[in-house]
Chains A and B, each alone.
Chain A
Amino acid sequence: MAAEGLSLAGIGKTFRGRGRTVEALREVSLTCPAGSFTALIGPSGCGKSTVMRIALGLEAPDTGTARIAGMAPAEAARSGLTGVAFQDAALLPWRSVMRNVEAPLEVLGRKRDAHTARVRALIDLVGLTGYENSLPGELSGGMRQRVAIARALVTEPQVLFMDEPFGALDQILRRQMNVELQRVWAETGSTALLVTHGIDEAVFLADRVLVMQANPGRIVEAIEVPFARPRAPSLWSDPAFHALCDRIAEALTGGAVDA
């Protein structure tokens, strides 16, 4: 079962700067079962984005192996199994919304015409109907982020990676986007890995929250999130929700003393 999802085993990564070496990751292992939603949370500089970049095949680990549906990351990427949304949308500024959403198809060498209907459906799904021909510069921050989500879904990925996809948005917009993301993810049934530094975002979206600490970057705790799906906005004012958030906050700071 895990073979269909994502698994990292014993990942280590060291960066060498000018005469300085930084051990970014040490012995990071995680398994995301197919169809699960996992959140990776940690302070700035703990290496959580590096974990995702290794899983995507953008960086090679020094030790350990990464597998997506049993394949090496680069191989999985080439066969179109993965979808990705970065912080700050990373849209191509000279392409319309429609053409931006289609970009992954182009990289994978798939025919764009065959997918026009789904691209339109995705744009509709993220609530941007009518903006198909707008340029990113003409959209608000939240709208650009929704384009990025639609783009991440266009290849019908089995594994969906998100690196602080709403990091640049304000709290209000962010919560709206969280609700929408949950809906979209539930409709596609993909395996999701969300990298974030927002505790409430992680708890609201994920089945399981992995807490990371820095120097060296490592996973210190895995916390299950028991709330039933679909989760409603009312969850944000639920005392149980806050109790869980507090627990994660504790895990984030607790180990820092002995690190």
Chain B
Amino acid sequence: MAALPGERASAGRIPPGLRNLVILLLLWEVVGHFGLVAQGALPSPTAILERLWIDRADYPRHIEATLIGSSLGFLFGNLIGVGAGIVFALSPRMLRLFRGVNVAIFSLPAIAIAPILTLTLTGMEPRVVLATLGVYFVTMTATVVGISQADSRATDMVRAYGGGRVKVLTMVQLRGALPSILSGFRIAAPNAVLGAILAEFGGGGDRWGLGVYLLGSLGQGMPTRLWGIGLVATAIAGLSYLAFALIARRFVGATRAVTLNAAVPGGDATDEPLASRLLFAAGSLALPFCFWWLFIWGTGAPWLIAKTPLGVADYLFFSPASASAQARLLHALGQTLPVTGIGMLVGLAFAFLLAISSRLFPEAVRAFMPVALVTQTMPLVALTPLLVLILGRGTSLTLWVTISVTFFPAFVTLAQGLALVPRSAVELPRAYGAGVWREMRMVTIPASLPYLFAATRLTVPRALLGVMIAEWLATGTGLGNLLNQSRGYLDYGMIWTVAAVAVLVSAACYQIVVLAERRVLRRLGMRTAE
């Protein structure tokens, strides 16, 4: 997952990031003041602040509702995430068994299951669940990575005195994993806010919440209000990020190992018989569906509303309406998938080009980095209504949403990965008189490959989420629209089908990227970037 590098502040001088921000704000003010963009859809900052002041009485209750949902989700998600992370780190078999569930949770486009949650749960629950899901994966991964990256020399020391698994965990690994877990929290915090807002998009008749407010203001032709809500949502997410970034910094200082660990990690035993490996693979595939069943059973929702996996299969293949359902689904997929693919490719390509050109124009990229980092804390997809204002309701909107939600995280991942390339590796070709281009071809581009894959893995679900939200809110095409329509028609079979298909498509794409990544990196003798 994308983590911020040491956000270093150069004392004395005005940081270029701050300077650029001021320039950007001034530019925005001028553009907004004269209504230069999309007939005034981009209001000036001062106009937005003015509207914020006028609306100030509305905000507390909306903010409160979103905050409660996201805080509870943040709490549960972290509890489950850290607990599961510890179990997974201790037992690679459990990790393999739960791989299907983890991939499904990571790649599920939150908006796809929002209607299901509002159908089967009440009150705050949908928000809490979506926020929990958004938080769980980040924290779980951070815990597993933190624990498994514990200094093997220190664990050897404990084991050499006869310490068992528990001693190693309590004395070395958990404390050693703390910085990683804390940086997980900091990325998870904005995710919780995003999850809560997306659940609010899903409807459910709740009056309060920033998502509800945003959606309700979409038709009022008041750009300033929409922008105000967007800025408040961003501020909440950003502040929660900042809080955990500060806590993390306090701990990291004492925890960084003093010397480099050169020990080769013990290879996992792949001696396991084929039968047992197949069993685990099958179990890992079946488990998400078990959870689906469990969820329905747990909520006690009536069978008419809550469709089990069998119910969905029945609806899609055996019911009288199956032909029409299949046709509508395929039509929607045909609209959604190409846009998702193109948007993702363009976003990734931009990110890749910009990141590798950081060797050519380090100044320009350094100045851009703060902007990219800030967007990491923004619930970007929740701001789609703002883009609707500027771009209208056509396909270009969908494309722009997709590009923007993939570009920024991909760029941050790539730029941070490239910053880890040892200076000596870069300087070697230079020392033999190589030009910038040859150096790029020999070192920078190959070195960036693991991070390009990591970025692709990261952006697959985001791209699909972005497209579906744009379709749901604005364009009236594709899977997002099908989901929204089915909600209106009370077509429960289709709601569950779209959710299942969206998760399956996303998980399948993710899996394809992972397989390609393993092949390519193994051939190049590189390791997967976390």
Contacts and interface: CB of A to CB of B under 8 A. Distances in A.
Interface string A137-149: 1000000100000
Interface residues of A, number: 36
A106 interface: yes
Contacts of B158: 103, 107
B157 interface: yes
Contacts of A106: 171
Contacts of B303: none
Nearest to A109: B167
Nearest to B251: A94
B328 interface: no
B255 to A, nearest CB: 5
A58 B159 contact: yes
Nearest to A106: B171
Interface residues of B, number: 25
B168 to A, nearest CB: 9
A90 B160 CA distance: 12
A56 B258 contact: no
Contacts of B157: 84, 86, 90, 103-104, 151
A137 B171 contact: no
Contacts of A92: 154, 171-172, 175-176
Interface in B506-529: none
Contacts of B161: 77-78, 80, 82, 84, 104, 107-108, 155
Nearest to A18: B267
B421 to A, nearest CB: 24
Interface in A80-132: 80, 82, 84, 86-94, 103-104, 106-108
Q: Majority SS of interface residues in chain B?
A: helix
Contact of A17 (B175, B256, B267): B267
Interface in B130-188: 151, 153-154, 156-163, 167, 171-172, 175-176
Contact of A86 (B156, B254, B257): B156
B259 A88 contact: yes
A136 B258 contact: yes
A161 B160 CA distance: 10
B153 A74 contact: no
30 contacts: A16-B271, A18-B267, A53-B156, A74-B162, A79-B162, A80-B161, A80-B162, A82-B161, A84-B161, A86-B157, A87-B153, A88-B153, A89-B258, A89-B259, A90-B157, A91-B154, A91-B258, A93-B254, A93-B257, A94-B255, A103-B158, A103-B171, A107-B161, A107-B163, A107-B171, A108-B161, A108-B162, A137-B254, A144-B258, A168-B259
Given A53-B156, A57-B160, A92-B171, 15 more contacts: A57-B162, A82-B160, A88-B259, A90-B154, A90-B156, A90-B157, A91-B154, A91-B258, A92-B172, A93-B255, A94-B175, A103-B157, A103-B171, A107-B158, A137-B254
- Give me the 6 closest cross-chain CB pairs, A-B, nearest first: A78-B162, A90-B153, A77-B162, A107-B163, A107-B161, A84-B160
Interface of B: 151, 153-154, 156-163, 167, 171-172, 175-176, 253-259, 267, 271
